[in-house]
Amino acid sequence: MAKIGFIGLGIMGTPMAANLIQGGHSLSTYTRSKTPQSLLDAGAKALPSATEVARAADIIEMYGPERLMVNSAGDWGPSKPTAVPDFIFEMRRRGHSEGLIRRVVYENPLTFFSQSKNFQFTPREDSIVSVG
């Protein structure tokens, strides 16, 4: 199975990470609080730090964009409204393409969340922006 890096183990992230482990994937995780013991017991590897945006970019570079998404929702802790834009700026600073950035901040989350029968999303016509 796949090696997957997972950032954010809040109210939504922990069950998603558990499902990935149950599916046989190798999971490396980071969260601002302590990685849940249940995930560690199931085989997840806790990464020591991702407190800075640069660490999230490091993880994308280590694991590739195929199975990663950058999202700032679902945390129990304090929210940082600029988390995703900060990540985008860091990826641009490192020279990554707009296509790769769009993949991890828009396309991958959309693909992942679309697996739920309860997820409904229709982009507004005026919000579609061409990148690349």
pLDDT value at residue 16: 86
- The pLDDT tens digits for 17-46 are 898 898 888 888 877 778 889 999 999 888
Quick check: is 98 in a domain?
yes
> Does the residue 132 lie in any domain?
no
- Give the model's pLDDT for residue 52: 52
Among 91, 49, 47, which Cα is nearest to 70's?
91
Is residue 128 one of the residues assigned to a domain?
no
Q: Does any domain span residue 97?
A: yes
Pick from 63, 65, 83: nearest CA to 73: 83
**pLDDT at residue 126 tops 60:** yes
Q: Which of 70, 72, 84, 75 is nearest to 9 (CA)?
A: 75
Q: Residue 46: what pLDDT?
A: 82
Residue 68 lies in a domain: yes
| Tokens read off for 2 | 């796949």
Q: Is residue 131 part of a domain?
A: no
Does residue 87 carry a pLDDT above 70? yes
Residue 102 is predicted with a pLDDT of 92
- The residue-averaged pLDDT of 62-81 equals 69
Number of folded domains that form the chain: 1
pLDDT of residue 41: 93
Which CATH number do you get for residue 54?
Answer: 3.40.50.720
Provide the residue type at 16 as one letter: M
Q: For 44-60, what is each residue's pLDDT tens digit?
A: 888 765 555 577 788 88
Calculate what percentage of the chain has a pLDDT beyond 90. Answer: 12
- Its pTM stands at 0.55
Domain span at residue 66? 3-123
| pLDDT (0 to 100) of residue 99 | 94
Residue 129 lies in a domain: no
